[in-house]
Structures are given as structure tokens and as C-alpha cells.
Amino acid sequence: MTDPSKIEVIAPNLKRRLSGVTATVVRLIPVQERMIGIVTTGPGLPDSLPHVTLTQAASLPRDQWRVWHARRNTEMALGLLLRRVLGRRFRLLFTSAAQRDHSGFTKWLIRQQDAVIATSPQAASYLEREASVILHGVDTQVFHPAADKRALRDSLGLDPDAVLIGCFGRVRAQKGVDLLVEAALRLFPDRPKAQLILTGRITPDNESFVTGLKTRIAAAGLAQRVRFLGELPWEEVVCHYQALDLFAAPARWEGFGLTPLEAMACGVPVVASRVGAYETLIEDGVTGSLVPPDDADALTEAVAAWLDDPARREAAGHAARDHVTRNHAIEDEARAIVAVYRKLLA
């Protein structure tokens, strides 16, 4: 176990399967541990992260204040329990990405926190208290353009000559996957080089949704050009970003939505709906395009414009990489969050 006297922050993760919240913890901790004494606790995290068990977290000495940084309701509730019932000296911090009215229980939990972070101005607007707005960042050393995109595609079993669109994340209606498939069905017959890959977990409740999409794709004779790759290991996801010509994020709603930033860091322009933080992240017409949510016609038109203009795609890819490097580096996110930790511990 890490020396308890050096533990200043605990970042719980009370979910075993990979999720956006878990990915945030995995991304940030290696950067933050260079700035402050931080550990994780809970299941589903890589062994490489500094970690204590939940039992160890609950039995830390009461000789100093520490920050308990929750990102889920369960984690807020556990931090409150540890402080009020077990007498642990925890300053409670919550990060909110949701862009919706919170339930009564969530609002009550948020009121018990010593400080709150919102991942976007939109998320902050749903909080009934003051919050620090800190946008997510991307590790630009991990997410970067491929040195040789053709060779990379060949190694991944992808067509080196394709004009390749990607959409990554859990495959479900909320992500607008059906809208993107509809766009492909309309556009691909006249664009023989265009292909679409989708990666991400398909949960049992979404299997019939995906089966319906695959049936439509097969009926159109596009089964070899619109492919569902399933849930990939993290390092393979990064490589698939680097292999793309265009990324699509047509979600119907979103909390923050990190995938466009990851794609742009890899030099890939993005077509996204105006949900989540996408309007904050994407420079419309410069690093990609923004379209109304749940609008297949607008999405199809935007995708077509990028497919048909390789010079514009290339210029936008360079602009996207530069935009992320200047405005959304993960080091900036980590420093801003650590500043909140320091203030709570002062």
C-alpha cells in the first residue's frame, strides 16, 4: 500500500466495466500523480495506476485531510458515508458531465459536496450551485497522427485505399449510430471508396437494434463497407482513430463526449451533432462540422461534403490537431483539477 501520509487525493471508480467515467480516471491519474499524491480505489482499473483497496481507503488515519473525488452518485454517497459515519477526514468533490435536470437524490448529494467541477458550461448550467468549469483534455502523446496511415491500415486489416469514416463508443440509438448508417446507405453507392467502421460494446438490450442495422446494410450490398468491429482493446482503439479520414459523432444527446477530441488529436476532422460539449470542442467549418441532432438529412449532407473534398479533409485534420494541442491538452485539465484539490486541502 502507498504510504498513507503521501495520499492526498482518492479517485474512486465503482464500476467494473469500461465507461467514459472510468476512461477519464485512467487518462488523468498518470498525469496527476506527477503533481499530487493521488490514488485510485475500486474495481476495473489497470494495475499500472496507484491504487488502494476500498477497505484501505476506509481505514486511512485521521491525521490529515484528503480529497475524495467522486464522478458518480454511488461514489458521492460512499464518500459521504466515509466522512459522516466512519469519521474519515475527506473533503468531498464531485465532477458532473450530465446535461439534464438531476434527480432529487442527486441534487441532495451535490449539495453535500465541498466543491463541484463541471466538464462544460452546459453541464454547469444544470447545477444549482457554483462550479468550476474544467473541460476534458486529451493526451496528445498517445493520440497523434499516424506516421504512415497506409501501413497502419494494412496492419489493422483495413483497406489502405478507402476513404474511411469511424464512429467509436457503445453502439446504441443514443449515439445516433442508425443516423450514420442511414447516411452511409445514401452516400456509399455513388462513392465506391467510402467505408465506415464502428467500434464499441453492444449490450444485450441493443442487440436487436444492431441486428436491424446489419440487415439493412446487407440488403444494400454494403456489408463489406460498413463494419461493426465490436469492443476493442484500448491500444487498438487509438490505432483505429489514427487510421481514419473522418470521424462521426452523431449522438442524440451526450454528457461531454470525448471521442471527437481524441479523433481530432489524431489529425482527423469530425462531423458531430450539436449536443454535449461538441459545440465547445469543434470549430464548425474549420476542424469539422456541426449538425442538428437527430437529423439524418443534415448529417448526410455534412458527411458528403467531407467525403468529396480530400484537400479540405487534410487541411481540417491539421487544424484539428493544432486546436487540440493548443486548447485541450490533458496536462491543462490535470493542472486545473489539481488546483481545486489544493484549494480544498489548504
Per domain, the residue ranges of the chain are 4-137+329-345, 149-327
pLDDT at position 16, please?
Answer: 74
pLDDT at position 289, please?
Answer: 98
Average pLDDT, the chain: 94
**90-123 pLDDT, tens per residue?**
999 999 988 888 999 999 999 999 999 999 888 8
Residues 6 or more apart whose Cβ sits within 8 Å of residue 241: 143, 166, 168, 247, 262, 263, 266, 268
**Distance between CA 40 and CA 63 in Å, rounded?**
20
Mean pLDDT for the stretch of residues 20-37: 89
- Cα angle: 81, vertex 83, 89; to 5 degrees: 155
Residue 230 in 3-state DSSP? strand
Q: Is the pLDDT of residue 255 over 80?
A: no
Q: Do domains 4-137+329-345 and 149-327 have the same CATH topology?
A: yes
Choose the CATH number for 4-137+329-345 among 3.40.50.1370, 3.40.1190.20, 3.40.50.2000, 3.30.70.340: 3.40.50.2000
Q: Are 131 and 210 in contact (CB under 8 A)?
A: no
pLDDT at position 121, please?
Answer: 87
Q: 313-336 burial string, b = 16+ CB within 10 Å, else e?
A: beebbebbbebbeeebbbeebbee
Q: Is the pLDDT of residue 17 over 80?
A: no
Place of cell 453535500: 112
Choose the CATH number for 149-327 among 3.90.220.20, 3.40.50.2000, 3.40.50.2300, 3.40.50.300: 3.40.50.2000
**165-197 pLDDT, tens per residue?**
999 988 999 999 999 999 999 999 999 999 999
Q: Is the pLDDT of residue 309 over 70?
A: yes
| pLDDT band per the 50, 70, 90 thresholds, residue 15 | confident
- Cα angle: 153, vertex 155, 156; to 5 degrees: 65
pLDDT at position 46, please?
Answer: 86
Q: Is the pLDDT of residue 44 over 90?
A: no
- Closest to 5 (Cα-Cα) out of 58, 69, 62, 70: 62
Q: Is the pLDDT of residue 254 over 90?
A: no
pLDDT at position 21, please?
Answer: 81
Q: Is the pLDDT of residue 295 over 80?
A: yes
| pLDDT band per the 50, 70, 90 thresholds, residue 18 | low
Mean pLDDT for the stretch of residues 127-136: 92
pLDDT at position 1, please?
Answer: 66
pLDDT at position 45, please?
Answer: 86
**Distance between CA 179 and CA 54 in Å, rounded?**
42
> How many other CB atoms sit within 10 Å of the CB of residue 167?
27
Mean pLDDT for the stretch of residues 140-156: 95
**66-78 pLDDT, tens per residue?**
999 999 999 999 9
pLDDT at position 100, please?
Answer: 84
| pLDDT band per the 50, 70, 90 thresholds, residue 32 | very high
Q: Structure pTM?
A: 0.83
Mean pLDDT for the stretch of residues 207-219: 97
Q: Are 330 and 324 in contact (CB under 8 A)?
A: no
